[in-house]
Structure 1
Amino acid sequence: MFFSFSTKKAANLEIEGYSTSNLDLNYTVVLEQNDLEKEVSFNRALPKLGKSYDGFKEAVGFKESRGNYRTINEFGYMGKYQFGIGTLELLGIYNGAEFLNSPQLQEAAFYTNTSRNKWILIRDIARFEGKIINGVEVTESGILAAAHLAGPGSVKKYLRSYGAQAFSDAFGTSIKNYMKRFSGYDTSFIKPEKNPRVDMKAYRM
């Protein structure tokens, strides 16, 4: 969630039709994985996802929006994983309304963006995984979650300065927080790729 929301034209999203006043803007959720699995507000039973890739992405999505694909926060970040339009454009997604209305597209965007971040950070993952920075053990999944929050560039600075160059988003959530919260997931499923793009044809009727 590093890029800010740009213009309505770029997003192709008619913001006038949306309001944050009646939305659940759950961007400060502090529940852990066990709470996610027990959450009674869902209308379906959640599987035991454990530390798998599915567990990782669902935990990130729950922290970002309580898993709400339709959420737009006060800064214009959209969907379950709270993407800004600048990040979406890097992934080949230019229609904000189309993105907001397609859970499948949002899931593809999360994987594609994480694949990109993993490619950018692959050397830092190899160098820092297992080290302790600011009292938190560095893991691949923690790095990738932090990159979703702050962008891979900020994570590079944090790691290479051994935590001296910190980052917090507009709500005060830090790289350290994400490193700790999302530590130890198996993210080997995510393949690093330079400049990946979402195949939009696969998500259109």
Structure 2
Amino acid sequence: MKARSTLSIAVALLLATLVGGNAAGQTTPPKVKEFRLWKFDELNYNHTCRAKGRLKDKGYCDSKLMDQIIAQGKASIPVLISQLTDTRSTQEPIYDYWSHTTSGDMAYFILTDLFTEPDRKTFNMPGLELLNPWCDAAAETCRRKFLRKGGRKFVQDRWHESWNANEGRVYWDEVARCFRLSPSARTK
């Protein structure tokens, strides 16, 4: 009887190990070191991601890459920050009226979108206000002008500083589909 009980426990442990799911029965997506931003995919033939909006909004932008980034949760943020200096061109411009976009541009757009509320005005990551100076020109012109003046490394360094200062307060709000900051650090 004891041998049968021990065998049952061993089989149960083996099955639990092989299934590899968490307590909710879901598997955690494997961590990535880089997102293939230069191969940004729009699954809709109408290129819905190009118009003004938030790249993370499902009804607005249908993209497996965005799904992968969202699935990574907070772990996606340092990966995207590391890609801010990447100058590889995307297959085609991601936004309407832009002549070209790079992986670094995409990382910036996505990071900004991930911390922007549904009102498209409220940005939830403090310390990055200077990355969006007032400019009375087209968005691409303003971005290129800013990058010529400060450089991609400057943008990356500001994001690193802000992320390091606020990481413990960041959480994902599924209803708003954006990262928000709690008043105090959250436990993991």
TM-score (norm 2): 0.29
TM-score (norm 1): 0.27
Which has the greater radius of gyration? 2
User: Structure with the greater relative contact order (CA < 8 A, sep ≥ 6): 1 or 2?
Assistant: 1
